[in-house]
Amino acid sequence: MTQSLGAQLSTVTLYERLGGAGGIRRIVDGAIDAHMRNPVIQHRFLPYEDRPEYVEEVKQHTCDFFAAGSDGPDRYRGRSMTETHRGMDISAREYEAAADDILTTMAQLGYDGDTRAEVGEILGSLKEEIIHV
Ligand code: HEM
């Protein structure tokens, strides 16, 4: 019997639909580039421009974080979301700008609406751990 689309989707992890480690890396690279150009949040990221090794480390942590959160391999060794963003006093507007950058990058890379919505939900679930902490 042919599987319904819903049943097929439930057997393919989000990690696989994101294109695994390579796909996630393209999303993270594109999103960080977008953050650097986004007037709402660029001031948070531009100071790191002259620390390429550190940016690479944070990008690697972010890739591992996305992998772990999408049913891929769990190698995340970075800090918790609250610990990472504590003291930055990130506003809801800044949070939305960062989430928009990620979802817009995904649209530009050709990810379908369902996959983008799923990532959007995961991002939404992290909001309270990131803003005003
Ligand atoms: C949308 C949801 C967000 C997620 C999933 C997220 C995730 C992460 C992760 C995984 C790291 C690396 C942690 C580590 O290396 O230990 C990180 C670092 C960072 N994030 Fe976020 N973040 C989000 C939103 C934001 C927002 C809205 C801002 C500011 C407007 C922000 C600013 C930063 C900065 C500046 C760093 C580098 C911190 C440092 O090491 O000094 N993030 N984030």
Instruction: Name the residue ranges covered by the structural domains of the chain.
Output: 11-130
Any binding-site annotation on 61? Answer: yes
pLDDT score, position 4: 73
Kindly give the distance from the C-alpha atom of residue 13 to the centroid of ligand 1, in angstroms, as a whole number: 24
Running DSSP on this structure, what letter comes out for residue 76? -
Phi first, then psi: what are they for 50, rounded to 5°?
Answer: -95, 20
What is d(CA 43, CA 37) in angstroms, rounded to the nearest whole number? Answer: 9
For residue 11, the model assigns a pLDDT of 78
Predicted confidence (pLDDT) at residue 94 exceeds the cutoff of 70: yes
Reported as a single tens digit per residue, the pLDDT across 104-116 is: 999 999 999 999 9
pLDDT reading at 1 higher than 60: no
Cα–Cα distances in angstroms (integers) from residue 36 to residues 39, 45, 55, 76, 97, in the given order? 8, 6, 12, 24, 12
Of 66, 36, 37, 68, nearest to 52 by C-alpha is 36
> Is the pLDDT at 65 greater than 90, yes or no?
yes
Percent of the residues in the chain that have a pLDDT greater than 90, as a whole number: 92
Atom in ligand 1 nearest the alpha carbon of residue 62: 10
CB 61 within 8 A of CB 78: yes
> Is 85 annotated as contributing to ligand binding?
yes
Residue 131 is given by DSSP the state T
Residue nearest to atom 37 of ligand 1 (CA): 58
Ligand 1 center to residue 84 CA distance, Å? 6
- Supply the pLDDT for residue 104: 98
CA nearest 62: which of 18, 9, 93?
Answer: 18
State the average pLDDT for the chain: 95
CATH of region 11-130: 1.10.490.10
> What's the CA gap between 104 and 122, in Å, rounded?
15
Q: Residue 121 has what pLDDT?
A: 98
pTM (two decimals): 0.92
Closest atom of ligand 1 to CA, residue 88 = 29
Residue 4 alpha carbon to ligand 1 centre in Å: 38
